[in-house]
Amino acid sequence: MERNAASQTIWSLPPSFAVYCGVTIEELIEKYGKNWMPHFENLKHIYIPIDDCVGNWFLMVAAVDDQVLYHLDPGFETRTTIPRQGVTTH
């Protein structure tokens, strides 16, 4: 399995990590923690691919120092707002 060694300040999780329906945070950490989420003293950003269960992919970026979560979605539409709220708030 590849190691995320591109930077000591960024976790850039692979598309196979994509948060999707029915998978718990604990399961994701168990599967990806060792190789994709090593301890970095100066971790600044975490890039998280997400599949929202209604056919749309987007990217969440966590800015660790600022404690801000960015939702980057080029295809955001009103019809997906309600179903997505259930995914992103759980």
State pLDDT tens for residues 15-31: 777 766 677 878 888 88
**The pLDDT value given to residue 48:** 86
Q: Would the pLDDT of 1 be above 50?
A: no
Q: How far is CA 39 from its chain centroid?
A: 17
**The pLDDT value given to residue 10:** 85
Q: Dihedrals φ, ψ of 41, to 5°?
A: -60, -35
> Coil, strand, or helix at residue 33?
helix
Q: Would the pLDDT of 79 be above 80?
A: no
